[in-house]
Amino acid sequence: MSSFLRRSAAPVLSRLVLHMALRIIAPLSVVSMVTLSAHAVIVRGTVTDPLGAVVPLAKVQLIQGRKSVAFAISGRDGSFEILSDASGRFILLTTANTFSVNIGQDFHGGRTEDISRNVTLDPAAIAEQVTVTATGTPTPLQQISSAVTLIPTGNLETRVGLTDELRYAPGVGVVQTGQVGGVTSLFIRGGNSDANKVLIDGIPAEDVGGSFDYGPVSRTGLGSTFNQGTAIELYRGPDSVLYGSDAAAGVVNLATTRGSSLRPVFNYSGDAGNFHTYRDEVNLSGAFRRLDYFTAFSRFDTSNSIPLDRFHAATSVANIGYDLFANTQLRFTLRNTDSGTGLPNAHDFYGVSQDGKQADQDLYSGITLENRVAGNWHNLVRYGIARKREQADYYGDSGALLDGPYGPAYYGNLVTFTGANGYSATGQAQFFSTNRDQASNRDELYYQTDYLFPHRIFALFGFRYENERGVFNEPAFGESEQIQRTNFQYTLQFQGDIKNRFFYSAGGAVEKNHLYGIAGTPRLGVAYYAVRPSERKFHGTKIYANVATGVQEPSLATEFSSLFTELQQAGDTTDIAAFHITPLGPERSRTFDIGVDQNILGHKLIFKAGFFHNQFSHQLEYVASGDLQTYFGITPTNDEFFYGAELNSLAFRADGLESDLQYQPFSHLFLRGGYTYLDTVVSQSFASDATAAREGIATTNPNIPGIAIGGSSPLVGARPFRRPPHSGFFAVQYTGSSFSAAFKGALASRSDDSTFLGGLDTTENGNTLLLPNRDLDYGFAKLDANFTYRATSHVSVFTQFDNLLNQQHIGPIGYPSLPFTFRSGLKIRLGGE
């Protein structure tokens, strides 16, 4: 009986204590307001948990330097108000029972200023996880219905670039053609590598048409000021609603560090390793009154392991913010990379490196004005630019001059190579590369206004204007093309929740693209907590579903070779009129995904699993002139050199299962692993190999009879290239006060591909260097490890080991991977608090 009374009295006593505390705190707050002069900074907001439920009795401290200058206790509705006669730069430090400590972003507060700052507290043992990419405004991951992976700043501390850390996300495939500096692409949920929007501080960074090379991108300056900050947000799925064209498969959002220390901080990092590798980086950051600043510069050099494949990159970064008024901030960001890399080509196909160099100059910069009124109404306007230049030059003639099928040409050595499927080919491949230079420039003006209505209904309206220009020159073919596009987009999105348990997001966008006209992209997502999170076992079950569409505009080079452009330049208006040929249309995507997030041991063990179904239609492919005549009846009459053109005639689907397991048994140890099954199938194609296969005259290798081969593109019913059906990752990370270590692995099964060498060898049959597509690329297990020791608060040393198993086939067939490498160095920190 007494036990029953104790259990019954517990909630009553809890409510009584809360009531009495609030009764005591309220008069004290009134006294404080009367006592302070009118010249005081006021900071107000609301404390909530990740599901939006208010958190009463949370202690919110106003910190300046190392000192707490004022504090408040959140009320029954989670609201707080802090008054202080101090002025300068502050942060909010918030604590509450059963929640992790929250350290907010620093801000400037002057006397008489009224500043709005809301706080989201995460349960103990869970790092704060907030995404901007999914919703357009900072939102806890627990409230969204989309699949998002956050890569923390700390994971990049011993890395050179982003390539390896991007591998540790479900549903993602990273393909690097060659060694460091080689073209690196990202395939998200089976989509093409150019179907991803890439943002740097909110500025679109991909080429016109979506392609983006992650190879030269340095980790310099990426990440939040705080240890739990996020360097990379990886959104898996179409998000053209918020980001327009090119967000057809996913979005990658990179963030630049902000300065926060009241005393300037200078950091130096230097390291060296095998293959003549060295790297140096310096950065300076801090905050002074209304100004915060961060600047950095790094230089990386390596010779790689094969001849004529040196790579270097110099990166400059700046992030400068100024608080014009309370809740109004102006921010300037800049990121510039100058890189150069050798062009050895597919070394295993030639046995000798081609002598060439590619130089890239990539500049991204923007100015953002942001204002928040009374905590509910937020406005943002951003002007951003992307300036991208690329020059590829080949020096002299590589290989030997031999008589080939089309006359004398330069060939590599006689080689034999074997695919992962066991088939081999022997021959000499012809070098075929030409000098080229191209530019892809974009100016963007983006405006966003969003408002939080009563009952937690959030509305967002966005407007985007883009001015895109491009130049493509290929002197060997006398080509010099220039194109300009002007695009507009309007976005309207609503999101909210019902009783902090059911979350929804619904929106749509209309884009007016200069090339293909008007395209609409709706999206709907819902998430429901069947079991609310708590410290108990199996408490915290989120079920979510998402449907969305995406669009992608053609690249500049593709537009040059479109059927409409080819016929127009040839003066063939007859076929244009007869067949109603128009400029290229948008490539489209459609997705449906469902999933579940399950807390197993309180918040220590979290399991995530999901299924996605993607349809990619109206994709671009090159269709030969003969196939245009056979299948479409188009016979150009005014151009005897017409070989073919680009059409929106390719379609494929991608279904998959994703899983992600996170376990933190102790505060210093974190374990993570994931697996993805991907089923991709080409459903429609009119490319030469596909049409020939339909007619029973498929391309084959005479030495491997009876197997149809897609020489330049996959066949109908086959998988798209370079997308392994099985992939996974794992990570074991230990973080102590003076020592940290990590052991990580990225694994992938064999995948379909092509050697792309049909008809370019010296054998009689002309295509013996083609191998069957199925499982041509090798599977791999890339294992890495790193160690960091903090000798003092100012000095630390580290070592990074990559490719511990010395795998040679991490990239596509023909491109030998960088073998085992190591780098060791030190970091020095001066200044700060």
The domain spans of the chain are 15-120, 130-243, 250-671+688-831
Q: Is the model's pLDDT at 826 over the cut of 50?
A: yes
- The DSSP H or E segment spanning 829 is strand 821-831
Written as one string, the DSSP assignment of 267-306 is: EEEEEEETTTEEEEEEEEEEEETTEEEEEEEEEEEE--SS
Which of 25-29, 325-329, 804-808 has the largest mean confidence?
A: 804-808
pLDDT for 138 beyond 50: yes
Nearest-angstrom CA–CA distance, 821 and 278: 12
- The residue behind tokens 């230049």 is 389
Instruction: Report CA-CA distances (Å) from 636 to 39, 351, 643.
Output: 79, 41, 10
**Are 79 and 46 contacting, i.e. CB atoms less than 8 angstroms apart?**
yes
Encoded tokens for 272: 């060296």
The yes-or-no verdict on residue 419 having pLDDT over 90 is: yes
Residue type present at position 794? H
Q: Which two tokens stand for residue 467?
A: 């001015």
Higher pLDDT residue, 640 or 430? 430
Q: How many CA atoms lie within 13 A of 803 on its CB side?
A: 17
The CATH number given to 250-671+688-831 is 2.40.170.20
What pLDDT is attached to residue 767? 61
In this structure, of 60-69, 278-287, 636-645, 713-722, the range with the lowest mean pLDDT score is 636-645
For residue 14, what pLDDT is reported? 44
pLDDT per residue as tens digits for the range 476-503: 766 778 889 999 999 999 999 999 899 9
Strands 541-552 and 517-531: antiparallel
Backbone angles phi, psi at 155, to 5 degrees: -70, -15
pLDDT digits (tens, 9 = 90+) for 553-593: 998 888 888 888 888 877 878 888 888 888 899 999 999 99
**Token pair for residue 769?**
């260097």
Q: For position 565, what pLDDT does the model report?
A: 84
CA atoms 365, 367, 372, 378: torsion sign: negative
pLDDT band of 802, cuts 50, 70, 90: very high
Q: pLDDT exceeding 70 applies to what percent of the chain?
A: 92
Question: Closest Cα partner for 72 from 115, 117, 81, 64?
Answer: 81
Give the residue-averaged pLDDT of 233-247: 93
* Residues recorded for the chain: 833
Instruction: Note the pLDDT tens digit of each residue in 139-197.
Output: 888 889 999 999 988 899 999 999 999 999 999 999 999 999 999 999 999 999 999 99
Residue 794 has pLDDT above 80, yes or no: yes
Q: Measured between alpha carbons, how far is 148 from 142 in angstroms, rounded to an integer?
A: 11
Which amino acid, residue 774? R
Q: Are 35 and 46 in contact (CB under 8 A)?
A: no
* Average pLDDT score over residue span 639-652: 81
What is the amino acid identity at position 617? Answer: S
What the block records as the tokens of 390 is 């690329």
Q: How far apart, in whole angstroms, are the C-alpha atoms of residue 762 and residue 411?
A: 8
Q: Is the pLDDT of residue 330 over 90?
A: yes
Average pLDDT of the chain? 88
DSSP 351-417: SS---EEEEEEEEEEEEEEEEEETTTEEEEEEEEEEEEEEEEEE-S--SEEEEETTEEEEE---EEE
pLDDT of residue 29: 44
Cβ neighbours for 426, distance < 8 A, ≥ 6 positions apart: 414, 415, 416, 768
Q: Collapse the DSSP code of 241 into the 3-class scheme (helix H, G, I; strand E, B; otherwise coil) and give the result.
A: helix
Query: Which pLDDT belongs to residue 132?
Result: 79
H or E segment to which residue 487 belongs: strand 479-498
Say which residue the tokens 């999914």 belong to: 134
Question: Which of 372, 497, 530 shows the shortest CA–CA distance to 49?
Answer: 497
pTM: 0.89
Burial of 536 (0-12, 13-18, 19+ CB in 10 A): exposed
Mean predicted confidence (pLDDT) in 296-314: 96
Would you say 718 and 752 are in contact if contact means Cβ atoms under 8 Å apart? yes
Specify the pLDDT at position 128.
55
Give residue 286's identity as a one-letter amino acid code: G
Give exposure, 498-533, as e/b (b: 16+ Cβ within 10 Å). Answer: eebbebbbebbbebebbbbeebebebebbbebeeeb
Smallest CA-to-CA distance from 470 within 553, 394, 551, 550 is with: 553
State residue 759's pLDDT score.
Answer: 64
Question: d(Cα 25, Cα 73) in Å, to the nearest integer?
Answer: 8
Structure tokens at 714: 């996959």
Q: Can 15-120 and 250-671+688-831 be said to share one CATH topology?
A: no
Q: At residue 6, does pLDDT exceed 70?
A: no
Residue 139: predicted pLDDT: 85
Whether the predicted pLDDT of 111 surpasses 90? no
Asked if 756 and 712 touch (Cβ cutoff 8 Å), the reply is yes
Q: Report, at the CATH architecture level, how domain 15-120 is classified.
A: Sandwich (2.60)
Query: Does residue 466 surpass a pLDDT of 50?
Result: yes
Tens-place pLDDT, residues 516-563: 899 999 999 999 999 988 888 888 899 999 999 999 999 888 888 888
Give, in degrees to the nearest 5, the angle at Cα 137 between 131 and 228: 35
State how far the alpha carbon of 133 is from the alpha carbons of 247, 278, 380, 602, in Å.
11, 34, 15, 27
Fold classification of 130-243 (topology level): Ferric Hydroxamate Uptake Protein; Chain A, domain 1 (2.170.130)
